[in-house]
Structures are given as C-alpha cells and as structure tokens.
Structure 1
C-alpha cells in the first residue's frame, strides 16, 4: 500500500470526532459485522477493516468519499480527496452508484432531525421492547436504531413500529418513512418491468415485446414441492434444534452452526440450486426460530412472487439480505448455482 494513501487515511482520521466515527460505523454495517464494528475505537481502525473488505483502497476511494459526504464533512472531501459536494451529488444520481443503502440513509437522516426531547420520547416508548440498559441517556439515536435492528423491531422491509412511534410527535419524519417505502415499492415495480407482466408464454397474443422466455407454468397446481427437513439424528448431539420453526419471523436468539454444504454444480440444464452458504463455510440457525436463510427465502417469496419476479432474482434478493445481516458478530454468504435456460416465474393462482 502506498505511503501517500496511508498518509491520506491518517489525516482524515485525525480530523474526525467520536460522533462522526459512530456515523461512519453505522453506514458500514451492511459490509462489516456488528461485532467487528463494536470493537473499533478510532477511525484508523475502521479504515483498516474497510481495506480488508476491499471497500476502500489506493485506487478505490468512492466509498470513503461517500462516507464523508454523508456525514457532511465536505471540507475533508475537498481538501483530501479532490472532490466536492456537487461532484458527489452528480455521482450519486447514477443508478447503483451509492454504496450506503437507502435504508441507512433514511435512519441517519431521522436521527439527525430528532431533537434531544424527541430522542427521549423515543427511548421512553421503547421501554419494554428494548432493555433499559440500551436506552440510557447517553445512548445516541443511531445506537438505539442499532438495538432496534438487533431485536428486529425495525428492518429494511418493516418500519411499522418506528412509524407508529414517530406519528405522535414527529409526523413529518413518519412521512419520510412513507416516502422511502413508496420508493421501495416503485423499485420492485421497475424490477417487474424488467421481467414484466407483458413477458408472456404467449407474447403474440398480447402484442408485447419479449425480454426473455419463461418456463410454462400453466398447471394448477403447478406440481409438488418436496421439502426434506432433517431434525432428529442417531447421534443426538447432531439434532438440528430450531429447524421445525423455519419460515415468515427471524430471531436474534441463540444461533448454532449447520454443516458446510458439499460442492454442488449441476451438469444438466434446467436446474437451480440455492444454498444457504458457500462451500466450506458454516450457515447459522436459531434454536428458537430456525434458519436465517430459510426465513429470508420465505419472506422474499411471499413478497415478490405476486409481483412476478423470477426465482433466480428472488434468490439474489435473499443473498443480499442474508449477506448484510449481522448474525451475532458473524456474516453468512448464500450461493446460487443455475443452469436455467429461461426465466422461472411462479404464477400465483388468482
């Protein structure tokens, strides 16, 4: 690594305060496990971790630029990274360019807009769902949001509780969440246009432009789904407690390690395999509510099948959600292997 790059990181680090570090860690949660972030006490250590994750580097400065832009340190952006507010605003208009999720941007914006009195009201209303020790007076709103995520009071696809809390005294912020949810629904609608309703087995009947063939799914029911759920084993120590709960809510309760999957690459067409984790790595399962992967899969199937999203794209959504979860300090990366020749869309019976 070049000396110049390390000097740059040092100068930026020394200019950042404690609250700004907390914000940077919050924005990095989609890429670094919570347990790792909790151990970080200064910006230099955070930048080291981001380098290890290949999020920043001598020739890869965009995420660092975006982080500084998000925390409003335009002075550092200009002085050390040769960028500007205007340049970043242009860059971030490019679809897919932003690396900080809309979800984290939303929560950070809400935290910034809440007054001290507002924060105390939020903490008061969260007593019960959260432990009192997590709602101490010196706990920042970002820390409270993090605890809400850990306890699954809020998540990217479900902000109902936060909206209910804010409705009473900050209806303007509740409207911000409504706008975020509307934008998210619109995004899914655009995905549907990519694999649209007009993409039909019989496109000539609809006069539609065909973006890709889809498998015929005309029978009702379509067929049979065989689910093998291994629970009890001869050796009781291998019993998979919690597996009966797999599937709709997730849990931050005690997690166990499942086996590493064998390498599985099909040599025939029309096969789609979704694995909970890549080869030689463990996947995690809660004893009380089941597999993190299976729960996400069920949730995404229920949400996206009615929107006619194809199964490979749904599995990609599952990959993204599971990969961004902090599973008690661990990360899990699912894997898709496909020899499909067409789009596989489950037609939901009317």
Structure 2
C-alpha cells in the first residue's frame, strides 16, 4: 500500500515537471537558494531534480507537500496546485504559518518580473563593470543572481539595487522600499557611483552626466535621499537639452506609441481547431465555422494563416516548438495564434483529452525562446471553457467536459496565464471558472464577435484593446434562446504600445461574402 502511495506521489511530481518550462525551473531554483546546498542546485537541469533534492532534505514527502505548493504559487503556476490537493486560496491561507520562502527572495523575484526588456538593457549598461565581460544573454533573474553572488545585493543590503532601480524606473523602487520597511532595514547612503555634471543643482535634484544619458531616451536623474516626489518640482519649467538630439522627449515618446506594422510581411496566424475528441468530450459542432471566419479575417488583415485540425496535446506542443524556431519571423511584424477547443482553468484540451497549459503554449514565444519575435506583438486568442460544464439547450453547447465530469476549480486568471515578458496579448473567450458558448451551426459567440468587430473597427483605425472592449460589449449582451445563459470574455496583456492593424485595401470579408 505504501508503495502505491509513493508511486502515485512521484507520478504527480512527474506531471508537474512536464507542465513547467525552463523559466519556471529557473524560478524554482532561485526560490530554493536558501533551502538547498548551492553546489547541488548548480547541477539542476529539471524540476524533477529539484523535487529529488527537496525530498532528500526532507522538505517534501507524500504527507507534506506544502513547500512545493508554495513554490508553484510563487511562480504563479496556480493551475498545477490541484495535483497536490491545493487551491490558490488554500495556499494563501497557510502562507503566514507555513511559508518558507523569505521576504528577500520574494522581493527579488517580484522585481525580476517587473523589469521589462528595455529596463534590463539599461540596468545591464549601468552595471556592466560588475557583470561578465563575455557576451551572454541574461534574464532579469540571472542578472539579480549575479549581483547577489558578487555580494552587491543581500538580504540586509539592498542599497545598490535601490539606486539602480531609481536610475531606471522609480516604480521599481516601490518593491525594494516595501521590502526595506517589512524587515526594518535602515536607509543607507547612496552607493551607486555617478558623476555630477557642471549643471547647477535644483533643490534635491542633480542631473547626472553618466554615459546612460547619451544612449537612452529617458531622462535619468540622481535624487538625493531618494525623494522621488521632488522629481516633478525639480524639472518644472525647465527645458533639458540632452546630447545626441534628445531635446524633445515628448515628440520622441509619441513616435513610440504604436508597434511597427509597416513591414513587407504582416506575420503568421496559426488556427488550431479541435473538433473531434478521443473519449468522453463531445464533438465541437460549429467550430469549423469559427476556423473559416478566422482564416478569412486574418488573411484580409495581411497574415499568412495556417490551420491545424484535431491536434493531440503533444501535437500542439510540437507545433509550438516548430513555430518557435521558424526563421521567417524576423521579417514579420507580429504573430497570432488562435486555439479552438474544450478547456478547463488555465488550459486547453488536445484531441487526446490531455490538458495543455495556456501559459506553457505562450512561453515558447518569449524573447528568450523566440528571439526573432523579440519586441514584436504576439496575440493569442483562446476559444475554450475555463470552468465547469453546464447543461444547455440543444442548439447551444458549452466548450467544456460533458455534464457530471469534474473540472479544475477557479485557480488561475488570464493575467497569470500570460508570460511575464512584454508584448503579449491573451484574449480569453470567458472569465476563469465559467463556460463559453457555441452555436452548433453559427459558431461561438466570442470568435464571431471578434471577427465582426475586427472587420468593423480596423478600417476606422482602432487599436486592438479598443476592439476587444467592443467584443466584450457584444458578447456580454448576448444570451441563449431561453434567456438564462450569459458570457463575458476577458483580455490580458503586457503590450507596451498600441497595436493597430494597417487598414486593408480590400473590403472586409463580410462584404465580400454577403455577411456572416
């Protein structure tokens, strides 16, 4: 009996490992730094390696899985908590009493998630004398780990970190200050080396003649005593003439408000349309209508559309890996992926009725995993239920399991599914925990509304978030023929600029084909 329990436990750990990507493993290693020997952590290649170390140190066993639950909670893999018998809410209840991850680790990880690619470039530039001379690709977490190893940052010394964050983005300083207050660290003297210029002081503000001024468009200022509130006062009525032609910062910023969408090729659009399933999941009648509309509309918008029908969970992952390494992305403006399937919280079903994490799907296209799409917008539209099935009239079916079968509890939201990197948009057909509806002939409410609003509003020059707001309004007003079922879509995004499709020369497909 004990052998059966042990085997089942290890199977659960293996399933968790299979749903984690490289960035997740790196985050787990980071959170375990204070718990496991560093020499053993250095040899870790997978989540299973970490689980083995935790079990060897008696932090993890069949009877006590809370530490692993806390780690999954910290890296926002909430959909995996169910495999350990936890929910997001249950972990939060127990953290005060049983939590093992230090406030210091939490602070550094939160900081790493809030550092954008542009911020990271600036930080690396500022800290280049403390970083390896050879050219290597660093993530924000990698960079913080290097600073920690060199003794420049520690649990009782975050001054340099605070100074650098102030140079790059005062918003980042809030995270460090919150930690300083929580553990009662004293304020220290400014430790970040800067050069004073010959410009006169204005109150508490010094304008620094650091090399950063000539290489980035943001105005960096050194603020004595970290009084960020004085920034506005100090520059009030003051015109700054910066080297390199950056005198008009306002005009420069206006140029950066929209993504570049004027290349020779718009981009690729994948449409994964799962209609038929192997066992208990019902046929998704009407989904082919959605796939056809998506192909017509995105082709009209200038994308090269590729459609894949009835893909297993492994085939979906294989597709992501194939397109992740597709070299032609470098000549494209954007990337779009639409997935039509049954689903549960934070995941979609393959034809084989195995779940695939939405976060895992999207993580293939981060700047690190897919450099050709770095700093380019990546849009994902998911038409799938995210909660329990509902018995519906014959003409309207939920994209979920058949009634009576269990589903995952409310454990993840779109903002937690989306990669932490910039330039992603995730459009969900429904909010977490709820079904989405599909007419067996006309297709799904969400996809039909999306296609309709794109055709109506792209010619008017509307950006994608404005369009998705209109989609919310459209779907939110719809109701099933008995007047009892409603649905509300939910977008989440880390876009840094407005995403606006160029206006096509041809009329919309609805006009070409006589409407939907």
TM-score, structure 2 length as denominator? Answer: 0.34
The CA distance in 2 between the partners of 1:132 and 1:50, in whole Å, is 34
In structure 2, the partner of 1:23 is 27
Aligned to 1:84: 87
Q: What is aligned with 2:75?
A: 71
The separation in 2 between residues aligned to 1:182 and 1:89, in whole angstroms, is 22
Aligned positions, number: 182
How far 1:33 moved relative to its partner? 2.3
2:63 aligns to what SS in structure 1?
coil
Per the alignment, in what secondary structure is the counterpart of residue 184 of structure 2?
A: helix
Summarize deviations over 1:267-314 as a string: whole Å, max 9, x none: xxxxxxxxxxxxxxxxxxxxxxxxxxxxxxxxxxxxxxxxxxxxxxxx
**CA contact under 8 A between 2:110 and 2:175: conserved in structure 1?**
no
Deviation by residue 1:149-207 (Cα, 9 ceiling, x = unmatched): 11001000000001110102211211221121111018xxxxxxxxxxxxxxxxxxxxx
1:120 pairs with 2:124: no
Preserved contact between residue 120 and residue 140 of structure 2 (Cα < 8 Å): yes
Task: Give how far 1:31 is off.
Answer: 1.1
Whole-Å separation in 1 of the counterparts to 2:150 and 2:48: 29
Separation in 2, partners of 1:35, 1:141: 22
Residue in 1 that maps onto 2:177: 178
For residues 133-161 of structure 1, the C-alpha deviation after alignment (integer angstroms, 9 at most, x for no partner) is: 3x72x211111111111100100000000
Match of 1:200 in 2: none
Residue 13 of structure 2 aligns with which residue? 9
**What is aligned with 1:103?**
104
State the alpha-carbon separation in 1 of the partners of residues 59 and 126 from structure 2: 37
How far 1:86 moved relative to its partner? 1.1
- Is there any run of 5+ residues in structure 1 with no aligned partner, and where? 187-350
SS at match of 1:40: coil
Aligned: 1:158 with 2:162: no
Alignment of 1:129-144 (within 5 A): 129-133=130-134, 136=136, 138-144=137-143
Change in Cα spacing, 1:69 to 1:8, as seen in structure 2 (3 Å) is same
Q: Which runs of 5+ in 2 are unaligned?
A: 186-516
- Structure 2 partner of 1:192: none
User: Structure 1 or 2: larger strand share?
Assistant: 2
Provide the secondary structure at the position in 2 that maps to 1:119.
helix
Correspondence 1:93 to 2:96: yes
Higher relative contact order (CA 8 A, sep 6+): 1
Is the radius of gyration larger for structure 1 or structure 2? 2
How far apart in 1 are the matches of 2:163 and 2:33? 25
Residue 183 of structure 2: SS of its match in structure 1? helix
Aligned residue number for residue 218 of structure 1: none
- Residue pair 2:28, 2:71 contacting (<8 A) in 1 also: yes
Q: Give the deviation of 1:36 after TM superposition.
A: 1.4
Aligned match of 1:255: none
Q: Distance in 1 between matches of 2:175 and 2:85?
A: 32
Which secondary structure state, in structure 2, belongs to the residue aligned with residue 155 of structure 1?
coil
Q: CA deviation at 1:131?
A: 2.2
Alpha-carbon distance in structure 2 between the residues aligned to 1:52 and 1:147: 27
- Alpha-carbon shift at residue 63 of structure 1 (Å): 0.4
Q: What is the deviation of 1:84? A: 1.0
Could you tell me the TM-score, scaled by structure 1's length? Answer: 0.50
For residues 28-57 of structure 1, give each alpha carbon's deviation from its aligned partner in whole angstroms, at most 9, with x where no partner exists. 000112221121111111111111111111
